[in-house]
Amino acid sequence: MASLDSIPSPAYALLVTSAATVIRSRRIAFPEGIREGTLIFRDGRIAEAMPGGAPPTGGALEDLGDRVVMPGLVDSHVHVNEPGRTEWEGFETATRAAAAGGITTIVDMPLNSIPPTTSRAGLRTKKDLLSQKAPRIDVALWGGVVPGNADQLGPMIDEGVRGFKCFLLPSGVDEFQPASEADLRRAMPILTERGAVLLVHAELQGPIDAAPRDGDPRRHDTFLRSRPREAENEAIRMMIRLAREFGCRVHIVHLSSADMVEHLTLARLQGTPISAETCPHYLTFESGLVPEGCTFYKCCPPIREAENRELLWAALREGQIDMVVSDHSPAPPSMKHLESGDFRAAWGGISSLQFLLPATWTEARRRGLPLERLPEWLCTAPARLAGLEGRKGRIAAGYDADLVVWDPEAEFRVEPAGIHHRHRMTPYEGRTLAGVVKATYLRGEKVFESGAFPGAPGGRCLTGASSPDYS
């Protein structure tokens, strides 16, 4: 461990006097582990990240004591739905919720907005909107692969898109049609050549059509039976095969079926470029305990059995699942059909952006996993997926000074009044979670502190040929 004695004093004095901010904590998540240290920010970047004992002198110092300082979270799976369905969510509300949850970058999914991000024109519409909206935190954009848009993939990559989402079965909105294997065969050579990643909603329709449809529609286990693991398993087998054939980087979004963990691991060992994420709801809830008619819990693929959840945790522990992201997918309350409680009719999507960190930590801690595991799952791996490595997701010199300051021992109860996304619904309501976010820094400026959002919104769109820092 370095000490201040090892730092040449003239250089050190220069750093401190010209720095905008110096913070210190006994628990900073450096890449080598959580330890005491000092961070100096200048011009929005981390100028120095110094593990070590004694505090510096000669500059304004904020001593955070025992509070954990971690890289700001990068949530690479968020549905903001703006423009076009802003009544579902929007950049203003989504980025406030993110800031309150310690998230400093979100990557927006290409569907649910109108137009969807499936063409250069659609991408430009969203980028123009972001330049007017000034989000609270940074936003990057995924594109989409849909039938017939192969000629748009290159132009979107030219404009800064680093990856594309596709569905293999109906997405729930007409503007974003599912890709057939033939569509993927047209798209994947383009993505391979340009080094873009294909993100896949991995469920196939066949096993769902063959599944039982009987049972009480107010019960989650009826819904679960209608959406069997085999739908995911078959889709993932197909994607392993195509990733291998085309050498195309593939990422499985929201993995729910633990059946496929060993297949994915074996494929990777054989050199297939494939990765996977899961979400806090698959790591927290179990189908058998979902209250009757409580459609806040509906998502696709579904929350499964307790035994499946524990297998997902084992896979995370072993590094077989790469990251945890929210898949925040809100909708207006009317679309959740709360009066009837009908899982068949309700919109599938869970709202949880603000609770990504505490929900993941609460369940990790319950299983004896240490804090040291969180930065890779929540910050570094999703930054890498989104092509933001080198700038986001680590506490190291040269990275953006994006940080979350939080208390992992403190607990809070999730109440609607404390929710910042547009519709204050979430299956976490009423639960006690561990991990209170105290402050969030974006490029060295506080964007959230003690329940408030200081300063003018200063988030940027990171997707753009005109963003030289990120291109």
- Residue 81 or 463: the one with the smaller Cβ distance to Zn ion is 81
159 is a contact residue toward Zn ion (CB under 5 A): no
Residue appearing with tokens 């680093």: 162
Residues in the interface with Zn ion (CB under 5 A) total 1
Q: Does 75 bind Zn ion (CB under 5 A)?
A: no
Stretch that binds Zn ion, among 55-63, 304-312, 321-329, 330-338 (CB under 5 A): 321-329
Considering the rule CB under 5 A, would residue 92 count as an interface residue with Zn ion? Answer: no
What backbone phi and psi angles, to 5 degrees, belong to 308? -65, -40
CB of 171 to Zn ion, least distance (A): 9
Q: How far is CA 424 from CA 109, 139, 300, 418, in A?
A: 21, 22, 20, 9
Q: Which is nearer to Zn ion, 127 or 165 (CB)?
A: 165
- From 56-64, 121-129, 295-303, 319-327, give the range in contact with Zn ion by CB under 5 A: 319-327
First to last CA, the chain: 35
Whether the CB-CB separation of 46 and 40 falls below 8 Å is answered with yes
Whichever of 16 and 279 has its CB closer to Zn ion, that residue is 279
Q: Binding of Zn ion at residue 175 (CB under 5 A)?
A: no
**β-strand 403-413 against 68-71: which pairing, if any?**
antiparallel
Query: Is the CB of residue 207 less than 8 Å from the CB of residue 230?
Result: yes
Closest residue to Zn ion, judged by C-beta, is 327
Of the pair 394, 423, the CB lying nearest Zn ion is at: 423
Instruction: Assign 227 to helix, strand or coil.
Output: coil
Q: From the CB of 292, what's the least distance to Zn ion, in Å? A: 25
Give the C-alpha distances (Å, rounded to integers) separating 425 from 59, 206, 289, 305: 44, 32, 18, 23
Q: How far is the CB of 80 from Zn ion (least distance, A)?
A: 11
Query: Smaller CB distance to Zn ion: residue 327 or 363?
Result: 327
Between 327 and 407, CB nearer to Zn ion: 327
| DSSP string over 367-430 | TT--GGGHHIIIIIHHHHHTT-TTTSSS-STTSB--EEEEEEEEEEE--GGG--SSS---TTTT
> What count of residues does the chain have?
471
327 belongs to the binding site for Zn ion (CB under 5 A): yes
Nearer to Zn ion, 48 or 327 (CB): 327
Contact status: 277 vs Zn ion (CB under 5 A): no
Q: How many CB atoms lie within 10 A of CB 142?
A: 26
Q: Which is nearer to Zn ion, 77 or 391 (CB)?
A: 77
Q: What's the closest the beta carbon of residue 172 comes to Zn ion, in angstroms?
A: 10
Residues 382-441 close enough to bind Zn ion by CB under 5 A: none
Q: Please state, in angstroms and rounded to a whole number, the distance separating the CA atoms of residues 370 and 350.
A: 26
108 lines the binding site for Zn ion (CB under 5 A): no
CB of 318 to Zn ion, least distance (A): 25
- The helix or strand, by DSSP H or E, that contains position 278, with its residue range, turns out to be strand 274-278
443: left (phi > 0), else alpha (psi -120 to 50), else beta?
left
By CB under 5 A, residue 89 contacts Zn ion:
no
- Binding part of the chain for Zn ion, among 22-30, 90-98, 320-328, 351-359 by CB under 5 A, reads 320-328
**Binding stretches for Zn ion (CB under 5 A):** 327
